[in-house]
């Protein structure tokens, strides 16, 4: 492939996996990151040892630094953002302002490219949160669902708004674009502030024949393993019919309870533990699943990795690199 691709948030979870997949497919990839959350670990170093992968450490809030990246990119994947419930609730104002500033800087960079074909923007399933709170949200949820805003005083609203504003900016910037809304993508190297690695850590640290506390045990989600997610993104990249579209990214089924997810984690680790049901997490929706009909109509791709297989691969990576290896992990 001759296309040159820029990935912001390149040291992050999806960014590094996507870059590896694209490099292995013949693309030339430039990753940028400030290491606010991402880490320079063995996986990233292996990727950067390949001739087709380069890296720039820059702050995406610095417009001059962003514009200095050059004008010869065909495609930009904008994945960088302040994300994660803990980070958002600690810094709601910065979440909104900084995410919008980064989006603006990336759009200005895209406008300076000489042979630009598309901007890919990582939005979020959180954009549906207001509709879920105030109206009848269809489940699984199609991209055409009208969007409402959660209460402005809630810290999570800042993150949701930053993604909605980012989508509007894509629509109005006059650039070719594809917006994608990830739904519960998981896998190796995603940090520790997400349900599956967080529960795997609890299970790893728990003594046999004890309890593991699980918040929101009856809430339901459909999960998508990272290998499927990056293959879906590559298909979006290589399909012109995705230009100008907003697409869910994820797996429509099976939709499982958090209790089932944690029990699967326990079974895979082989520990004798029981689940202790804890209270629902404030702001967490009872159900979340993407309607993937539009995606299937355009791209005709079905995720291949089952939940059990995906958690097994995730457990093996965390056990080797984090729990036993004491390696760095994303914040």
Structural domain of 24: 4-187+223-251+289-305
Pairwise CA distance, residues 226 & 186, whole Å: 6
Contacts of 68 (CB under 8 A, 6+ apart): none
**Is pLDDT above 60 for 1?**
no
CATH code: domain of residue 71 = 3.40.50.720
**100 within a domain of the structure (yes/no):** yes
Pairwise CA distance, residues 301 & 83, whole Å: 27
**131 within a domain of the structure (yes/no):** yes
**59 within a domain of the structure (yes/no):** yes
Q: What is the mean pLDDT of the chain?
A: 95
Pairwise CA distance, residues 163 & 123, whole Å: 5
Tally of domains within the chain: 1
**Is pLDDT above 90 for 84?**
no
**265 within a domain of the structure (yes/no):** no
Pairwise CA distance, residues 183 & 251, whole Å: 8
Answer for the pair 49, 27: CB distance below 8 angstroms, yes or no.
no
> Which spans in the chain are helix H?
13-24, 42-48, 63-67, 85-90, 92-111, 129-134, 155-172, 195-205, 226-237, 258-269, 293-299, 307-318
**211 within a domain of the structure (yes/no):** no
**331 within a domain of the structure (yes/no):** no
pTM: 0.96
Q: What is the pLDDT of residue 331?
A: 62
* Averaged pLDDT for residues 183-206: 95
Contacts of 16 (CB under 8 A, 6+ apart): 10, 31, 38, 43, 44, 47, 189
Q: What is the pLDDT of residue 193?
A: 83
**23 within a domain of the structure (yes/no):** yes
Pairwise CA distance, residues 149 & 164, whole Å: 10
**214 within a domain of the structure (yes/no):** no
């Amino acid at each position: 492939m001759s296309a040159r691709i820029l990935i912001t948030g390149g040291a992050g979870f999806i960014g590094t996996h996507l870059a590896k997949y694209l490099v292995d497919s013949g693309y030339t990839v430039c990753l940028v990151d400030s290491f606010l959350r991402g880490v320079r670990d063995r996986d990233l170093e292996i990727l950067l040892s390949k001739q087709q992968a380069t890296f720039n450490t820059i702050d995406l809030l610095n417009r001059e630094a962003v514009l200095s990246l050059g004008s010869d990119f065909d495609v930009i994947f904008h994945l960088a953002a302040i994300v994660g419930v803990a980070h958002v609730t600690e810094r709601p104002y910065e979440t909104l302002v900084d995410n919008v500033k980064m989006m603006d800087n990336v759009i200005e960079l895209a406008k300076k490219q000489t042979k630009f074909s598309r901007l890919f923007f990582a939005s979020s399933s959180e954009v549906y949160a207001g509709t879920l709170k105030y109206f009848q949200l269809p489940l699984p949820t199609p991209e055409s669902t009208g969007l409402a805003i959660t209460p402005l005083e809630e810290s999570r609203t800042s993150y949701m708004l930053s993604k909605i504003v980012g989508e509007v900016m894509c629509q109005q910037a006059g650039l070719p674009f594809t917006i994608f809304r990830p739904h519960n993508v998981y896998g190796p190297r995603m940090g520790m502030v997400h349900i599956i690695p967080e529960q795997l850590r609890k299970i790893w640290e728990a003594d046999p024949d004890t309890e593991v506390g699980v918040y929101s045990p009856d809430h339901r989600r459909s999960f998508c393993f990272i290998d499927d997610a990056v293959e879906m993104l590559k298909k979006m990249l290589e399909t012109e019919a995705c230009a100008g579209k907003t697409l869910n990214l994820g797996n429509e089924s099976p939709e499982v309870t958090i209790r089932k997810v944690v029990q699967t984690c326990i079974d895979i680790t082989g520990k004798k533990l029981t689940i202790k049901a804890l209270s629902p997490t404030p702001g967490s929706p009872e159900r979340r699943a993407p309607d993937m009909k539009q995606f299937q109509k355009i791209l005709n791709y079905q995720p291949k990795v089952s939940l059990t297989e995906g958690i097994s691969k995730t457990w093996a990576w965390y056990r080797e690199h984090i729990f036993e290896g004491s390696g760095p992990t994303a914040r």
